[in-house]
Amino acid sequence: MKLDDKGLLIVISGPSGVGKGTVRKALFEREGHDLVYSISMTTRKPRQGETNGKEYYFVTKEEFEKNISEGKMLEYAEFVNNYYGTPLDKINEQLESGKEVVLEIEVQGAMQVKKKVKDAVFIFIAPPSMNALYSRLTNRGTETEKIIKERCEKAKREVGLANMYDYIVVNDEVSNAADKIIAIIRAEHARTKRTIDKYQKMLEVK
Amino acid sequence: MKLDDKGLLIVISGPSGVGKGTVRKALFEREGHDLVYSISMTTRKPRQGETNGKEYYFVTKEEFEKNISEGKMLEYAEFVNNYYGTPLDKINEQLESGKEVVLEIEVQGAMQVKKKVKDAVFIFIAPPSMNALYSRLTNRGTETEKIIKERCEKAKREVGLANMYDYIVVNDEVSNAADKIIAIIRAEHARTKRTIDKYQKMLEVK
């Protein structure tokens, strides 16, 4: 018996290069969970193999800024001269229908969601070491040296924000991290703050 | 990688008759978890098939009260003219060695643990309905009608204390309830308040 019918807003975040995307993909491969992925919007150019509406909604800077000014973004961040953000439409509808909505976003954006959605679940994906993180940022091979350096500095600041999250999950092994997130989602559904209203109604307790 | 080495103190509690014992037993049948059960002490007479040191430590009223006065009880409660309680010895030692220590105790006792052990995990086992609970209290068949009535009244007061717990798990199906508790234990180990110190040390973040 589930004491809460609504889905959870699950924020998966962490420093650039930590492997958020890989963990999120592994999470969605797990069966028996009603997860939906909130596709982000970005102004960066698609990488090879990326499709509009799949990995991201790819839009122009002007379109993105119009969405911001119209209050249509749950969160957004500027990152290496590009915007990344989460369009609000559909999210609430999906939550009401009982789906768990997963956001995979930058630390900057997660801090914005934290202000707006008090009952979201904030999961910080942590690297097993700073060297592991720097190595990933260096080896991606799609960026210039200047951008890599900026990223490393930013990542260092970002690891310092883990204390703002509800959970810290070390990405030492992707499947292990995904398992932990599944457990977190299951446990959060039983948390008293989410279940007490329906519990009291069910047992007619005042 | 685990960011906390210590085990958790897991308090499984709930109204009399809700089936805490059955859930706890199902929990211990799950594999891959380092759970230990803290055997309670009681002054009530052993039921048929119960053994001293297995289901309970069966002691006299005098012995129990000596333990209380010497500060050797983590919690205790008087219940239908008998004491029930948790002896302190071994618990801390087991937690330090990384074992999850499970207490299956009455609501009264859980409230005492809550005051003493801030980082314990409090799980309230809830009945699917008040009628299901009353029916269980009536059908146990080991008590007089007066005791059954007292129990029902007490159970009613106890269901009102669910809001004091971290989690509410409905015991509609025992294996389902046990699965949820396993998820809760796993999730709690990733909670930022339990992991932030080791995380900061690991990444040398200040």
Mean per-residue pLDDT for A187-199?
94
Would residue A94 count as lying in a domain? no
Could you list the residue range(s) of the whole structural domain that residue B149 is in? Answer: 1-38+98-206
How does pLDDT run across A43-90, given as a tens digit for each residue? 999 999 999 999 899 999 999 999 999 999 999 988 889 999 999 887
Considering the domain architecture, whether residues B162 and B197 belong to the same structural domain is answered as: yes
Considering the domain architecture, whether residues B84 and B159 belong to the same structural domain is answered as: no
User: Does B158 touch chain A if contact means CB atoms closer than 8 Å?
Assistant: no
Considering the domain architecture, whether residues B27 and B46 belong to the same structural domain is answered as: no
Considering the domain architecture, whether residues A15 and A70 belong to the same structural domain is answered as: no
How does pLDDT run across A150-181, given as a tens digit for each residue? 888 888 899 999 999 999 999 999 999 999 99
CATH number at residue B55: 3.30.63.10
pLDDT score, position A6:
86
Domains contained in chain B, number: 2
Considering the domain architecture, whether residues A13 and A69 belong to the same structural domain is answered as: no
Q: What is the pTM of this model?
A: 0.88
User: Does B195 touch chain A if contact means CB atoms closer than 8 Å?
Assistant: yes
Residues of B within 8 A of A184 (CB-CB) are 183, 186-187, 190
Considering the domain architecture, whether residues A176 and A119 belong to the same structural domain is answered as: yes
Output the tens digit of pLDDT for each of chain B's 206 residues.
Answer: 667 778 999 999 999 889 999 999 999 998 878 899 998 899 999 999 999 999 899 999 999 999 999 999 999 988 889 999 999 887 888 898 889 999 999 898 999 999 989 899 999 999 999 988 888 888 766 678 888 888 888 888 999 999 999 999 999 999 999 999 999 999 999 999 999 999 999 888 65
How does pLDDT run across B145-164, given as a tens digit for each residue? 888 888 888 888 999 999 99
Considering the domain architecture, whether residues B106 and B204 belong to the same structural domain is answered as: yes
Tokens of residue B52, six digits:
């001293």
pLDDT score, position A203:
87
Q: How confident is the model at residue A101 (pLDDT cuts 50, 70, 90)?
A: very high
How does pLDDT run across B134-146, given as a tens digit for each residue? 888 887 666 788 8
* Residue whose C-alpha is closest to residue A170's, from B155, B205, B190, B58: B190
In three-state form (DSSP H/G/I as H, E/B as E, the rest C), the secondary structure along B26-87 is HHHHCCCCCEEECCEEECCCCCCCCCECCCEEECCHHHHHHHHHCCCEEEEEEECCEEEEEE
Last residue of a domain, one of A89, A124, A152: A89
* Residue whose C-alpha is closest to residue A127's, from A168, A178, A176: A168
Mean pLDDT of chain B: 90
Helix (H, G, I), strand (E, B) or coil at A57: strand
Considering the domain architecture, whether residues A119 and A156 belong to the same structural domain is answered as: yes
Would residue A143 count as lying in a domain? yes
Cβ-proximal residues to A53 (8 Å cutoff; 6+ apart), any chain: A39
Considering the domain architecture, whether residues B13 and B109 belong to the same structural domain is answered as: yes
Inter-chain CB proximity B196 and A170 less than 8 Å: no
Considering the domain architecture, whether residues A8 and A31 belong to the same structural domain is answered as: yes
Predicted-complex ipTM score: 0.86
- Model confidence at A141: pLDDT above 80: no
CATH number at residue B144: 3.40.50.300
Using CB atoms, pick whichever of A3, A123, A127 lies closest to residue B168. Answer: A3
Residue type, B37: Y
Tokens of residue A178, six digits:
């995904």
Considering the domain architecture, whether residues B124 and B167 belong to the same structural domain is answered as: yes
Considering the domain architecture, whether residues B117 and B179 belong to the same structural domain is answered as: yes
